[in-house]
């Protein structure tokens, strides 16, 4: 299943790197949300991508967009990675039930058991406004984020 632009984004309740439950609806009426699904914490491309987002966090903050990372890694791996790389945005664990949220966004790779690289921009009303999905080994360009966030 994959979501269509203009449709309601799938809600979820996942734990972040600190063990706190985060829901998409927590941001309703308050902030837009950029959901960034990635295969694995500590992997090369994932680290480069999220560090680039960390280093350009102002492009999200300035447009009132909450950046949120999501992978099937357990909470403890997310926390260790966030601390090592100084990520100050939430990293959510889709570990159990394994990949349920990734499936609801159409990015779970059944053959490998991880989320493909998918990014979804959800507005304050919970509607999907933009998405990009890349396979394993295909990094997402920062320019795509800039364009999507600017169009909000």
Active site residues: 46
With beta carbons less than 8 A apart as the criterion, state whether 143 and 47 touch: no
Nearby residues of 45 by Cβ (< 8 Å), 6 or more positions away: 117, 137, 139
Token pair for residue 52? 């680039």
Nearby residues of 126 by Cβ (< 8 Å), 6 or more positions away: 8, 9, 11, 24, 25, 28
Q: In the chain, at which residue ranges do the beta strands (DSSP E only) sit?
A: 13-15, 21-23, 32-37, 65-71, 91-93, 108-109, 114-115, 117-122, 128-134
Task: Tell me how far apart the alpha carbons of residues 14 and 27 are, in angstroms, rounded to a whole number.
Answer: 14
Dihedral angle sign, alpha carbons of residues 25, 30, 35, 41: negative
């Amino acid at each position: 299943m994959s979501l269509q632009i203009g449709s309601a984004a799938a809600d979820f309740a996942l734990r972040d790197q600190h063990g706190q439950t985060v829901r998409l609806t927590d941001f309703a009426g308050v902030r837009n949300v950029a959901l960034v699904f990635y295969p694995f914490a500590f992997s090369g491309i994932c680290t480069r991508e999220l560090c680039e987002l960390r280093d350009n966090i102002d492009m999200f903050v300035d447009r009132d967009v909450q950046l949120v990372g999501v992978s099937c890694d357990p909470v403890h791996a997310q926390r260790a990675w966030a601390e090592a790389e100084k990520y100050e945005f939430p990293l959510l664990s889709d570990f159990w039930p394994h990949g349920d949220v990734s499936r609801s966004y159409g990015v779970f790779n059944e053959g490998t058991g991880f989320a493909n690289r998918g990014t979804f921009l959800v507005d304050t009303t919970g509607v999907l406004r933009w998405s990009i999905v890349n396979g394993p080994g295909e990094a997402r360009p920062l320019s795509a984020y800039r364009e999507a966030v600017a169009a909000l």
